[in-house]
Amino acid sequence: MRRSHVLLGLGSILLFSACRVPKAIIGDKHRDRDLHARSAGDLLDALMTDGASSIRYFSAKADVSMETATDNRSFKAHLRVVRDSAAWLSITPALGIEVARAVLTTDSLLIIDKLHDTFWTGDTEQAQVRFGVQPSLELLQDALVGLAIGIDPEEKYRSDREDGMYTLTSREKRIFVRAAEDIAPGDTMPHDRDMREKRLERTLRKAERRDAMVYKYWIDPDSMRVYRVLISDLAHDQQADVRYMERKSVDGHSIPGLVILSLSAPGQTATGTLRLDRIQLNGPLNLPFRIPGKFTPMD
């Protein structure tokens, strides 16, 4: 695949997924602060009552930087999102001429590369095969408005305090901690890591898919809004990480001006940083996308 196609695919998908964040200090301004304990129910209520979930339309200009193990790129983009319908992305380099466009729906991804007169279309599972990451409209639309991705009012959570912030963590992790601890020495040769890992893999395969997912939220004690979301897929050794920074008030909603999205998986890491400007929450929005007749499928 051409380097430009890699940029285009990752640019679309990093904006359309949750990705791994580079190491950073969490809650730095609160690090030395003592917090009184709060119940998991109180923290869950605070996250569930965030009015940003009612936002129907979102548009913004973005300065985007991307980093993978082999490449670093920066570009400007225009973003438009109609909640639960589609997201639209237009990529422009420094000269301001559009070089690529993409549309993500709930189950499909469409891309045109104007530099090479090529296009790609497919469902999100095909996108994962092609680009290595499965894009998600739900993740993108929640991330852009600073919501607690994946929060579930029916889920059981445990609360804690960490680095001057409150944390809320789903309880499924204990299942897998016990699974790892329950691997008896008699089942394997001493210090035989490969055998222990195979036993753990068998245990994980028997578990329900939902039980393999662990959600952790860091909550700012002043605003009681989510600062960071970490999603761990224990069965496949993958993590999705989103951080919200520099929140600002837009039409009465607290919207992050800086979003860092990232993904880690065995042998793969990618990071996307979005600095958002000219954020608007009004609609309707136009999401134009047309594949010119002269364009050919991407190699």
Q: Are 127 and 109 in contact (CB under 8 A)?
A: yes
Token pair, residue 266, equals: 């065995």
Task: Name the pLDDT band for 231 (thresholds 50, 70, 90).
Answer: confident
Domain regions of the chain by residue span = 3-292
Query: CB of 71 within 8 A of CB of 3?
Result: yes
pLDDT per position as a tens digit, 35-67: 999 999 999 999 999 889 999 999 999 999 988
Q: Which amino acid is at 100?
A: A
Using CA atoms of 128, 75, 55, 104 in order, give the dihedral in degrees to the nearest 10: -30
Average pLDDT of the residues in 159-168: 95
Q: What local confidence, expressed as pLDDT, does residue 119 receive?
A: 97
Dihedral, 73, 79, 83, 87 alpha carbons, nearest 10:
-60
Question: Which tokens go with 285?
Answer: 């929005």
By mean pLDDT, which of 179-193, 222-236, 282-296 is the weakest?
179-193
pLDDT digits (tens, 9 = 90+) for 251-279: 999 999 999 988 787 888 888 899 999 99
237/31: higher pLDDT: 237
Q: For domain 3-292, is the CATH number 2.50.20.10?
A: yes
Q: Where does 117-164 show beta strands of DSSP type E?
A: 118-123, 157-162
Does position 22 have pLDDT exceeding 80, yes or no?
Answer: no
Helix-strand-coil split of the chain, %, nearest 5: 25, 40, 35
Q: Is 210 a residue whose pLDDT tops 80? A: no
d(CA 194, CA 205): 17
Residue labelled with tokens 């980093």:
67
What average pLDDT does this structure show over 234-240?
79
- What percent of the chain stands above pLDDT 90? 53
Q: Cβ distance 104 to 87 under 8 Å?
A: yes
pLDDT greater than 80 at residue 91? yes
Contact 108, 218 (CB under 8 A): no
Least confident of 106-115, 182-191, 265-274: 182-191
Average confidence score pLDDT of the chain: 81
Residue 204 has pLDDT above 60, yes or no: no
Confidence at residue 96, expressed as pLDDT on a 0 to 100 scale: 78
